[in-house]
Structure 1
């Protein structure tokens, strides 16, 4: 809870970095959400190391499944002062997206900024600009884009597998930095 409160307070300053890990003052309160919430049978696990967050699992397309994700708790985040994020990660076997939600209703549209590894199991940094985020509704693209007005009212952020490809996957995240 303390890391979450520090995160909320830090939104009022000009620089924001979410440093993941199990230590004090590191972000370690994101929650695991997979296709199990709707009848899917994908297996996933979330753990925190000293300095990272690791999401691992096995995606199954059975029972209309096909995703695993980690998300912040619900809150109120005004990230309109930023142009995007920089994420330091390493991964294997899936494409991913950074997600932004401006409603607590899961049937309402959300926004995804795609990223993928170019060198499996190697630390990489990617910048994902908010202007490149696309709107999705229940996993399907709507053709709309993320607007600056959406950025003022974000209620949840996360990382999700997006490929709907069966098999094992891993993503380890060191940090997410909001960039101007």
Structure 2
């Protein structure tokens, strides 16, 4: 299986390119942080609040374009807290919309495969009326939590890559 690493966290990783966007951009009061753990994992954690019509926190990473094929998918090495998260990609960081998919964490280390062709277009929580992902590159990935409830969260990230996934 061929793959291209988007980000492989280790103790020397530079995480300055990862940026938090919380609901404060629209008046909310949720707060997320992103940092490198002493063990060399990316840590996305914080609190989601529903105050002032808020309800989400996200962390974004833009990178040089990676070519993808119709059979490609994201492979996430993560350890969550039992909560549901979104992973989002953009083929162009200038697009107003993202392609999204949900995944549930178990509290243990997981390898989650997300076929790109199953990711659907969305903007501000609304599904858009055009096709699922069918582009030939990606240049941004986002992890988001927004489960319509107040909650603390913690997601550890070890590696993110694009791979050709096995056919169903």
Please report the TM-score for the alignment, with normalisation by the length of structure 2: 0.82
1:78: how far off?
Answer: 2.9
Q: Which of structures 1 and 2 has the larger relative contact order (alpha carbons within 8 angstroms, sep 6+)? A: 2
The answer on whether the counterparts of 1:94 and 1:162 sit within 8 Å (CA) in structure 2 is no
Whole-angstrom CA distance in 2 between matches of 1:41 and 1:126 = 30
SS of alignment partner, residue 59 of structure 2: strand
1:147 match: 133
Whole-angstrom CA distance in 2 between matches of 1:19 and 1:74 = 13
1:87 match: 76
1:125 match: 111
Q: Note the residue ranges of structure 2 that are not aligned, 5 or more in a row.
A: none
Whole-angstrom CA distance in 2 between matches of 1:85 and 1:74 = 15
Tell me which protein shows more strand as a share of its residues: 2
Q: CA 1:96 to 1:131, structure 2 compared with 1: closer, same or farther past 3 Å? A: same
The answer on whether the counterparts of 2:58 and 2:142 sit within 8 Å (CA) in structure 1 is yes
Whole-angstrom CA distance in 2 between matches of 1:138 and 1:105 = 15
SS of alignment partner, residue 72 of structure 1: strand
The answer on whether the counterparts of 1:92 and 1:169 sit within 8 Å (CA) in structure 2 is yes
2:101 match: 113
After TM superposition, the structure 1 = structure 2 runs for residues 9-158 of structure 1, keeping only pairs within 5 Å, are 15-17=3-5, 18-23=7-12, 26=13, 28=15, 29-49=17-37, 50-73=39-62, 75-80=64-69, 83-92=72-81, 94-105=83-94, 108-117=96-105, 119=106, 121-148=107-134, 150-152=135-137, 154-158=138-142
Q: Note the residue ranges of structure 1 that are not aligned, 5 or more in a row.
A: 1-13
Q: CA 1:102 to 1:131, structure 2 compared with 1: closer, same or farther past 3 Å? A: closer
Q: CA 1:173 to 1:145, structure 2 compared with 1: closer, same or farther past 3 Å? A: farther
1:145: how far off?
Answer: 3.7
1:174 match: 158
Whole-angstrom CA distance in 1 between matches of 2:162 and 2:94 = 25
State the number of aligned residues: 160
| Cα-Cα RMSD | 2.2
Please report the TM-score for the alignment, with normalisation by the length of structure 1: 0.77
Tell me which protein shows more helix as a share of its residues: 1
